């Protein structure tokens, strides 16, 4: 199937033919990963929940905060 890259605001996008979406069971609103692979672009279906490994991979020194320990309140004990 052939399609054309078009401008959408400040971005570029493509329209994916219905037949291709039906073949891989994707629908409007589904979340996909866009991956560059071997000189091409691959769309990989995703579920709404990231795995723990994916979340940990997003931790960087810039977004890692110090431990937040609060004082004991009421009957709480650590």
**What's the whole-number mean pLDDT along residues 1-5?**
90
Alpha-helix runs per DSSP H in 1-78: 18-24, 52-57
pLDDT in tens, 10-63: 999 999 999 999 999 999 988 898 999 999 999 888 876 778 898 899 899 888
Q: Which CATH architecture has domain 6-57?
A: Ribbon (2.10)
| CA dist 69 → 30, 61, 63, 72 (Å) | 39, 20, 18, 9
- How far is it, in rounded angstroms, from Cα 17 to Cα 39? 22
Q: Is the pLDDT of residue 74 over 90?
A: no
Q: Given this model, what pLDDT does residue 77 score?
A: 67
Higher confidence at residue 50 or residue 4? 4
The structure's pTM equals 0.51
């Amino acid at each position: 199937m052939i399609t054309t890259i078009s401008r959408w605001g400040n971005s570029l996008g493509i329209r994916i033919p219905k037949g291709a979406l039906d073949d891989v069971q994707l629908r409007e609103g589904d979340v996909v990963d866009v991956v560059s692979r071997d000189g091409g672009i691959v769309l990989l279906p995703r579920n709404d929940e990231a795995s723990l490994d994916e979340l940990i991979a997003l931790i960087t020194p810039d977004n890692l905060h110090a431990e937040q320990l609060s004082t004991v309140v009421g009957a709480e004990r650590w």
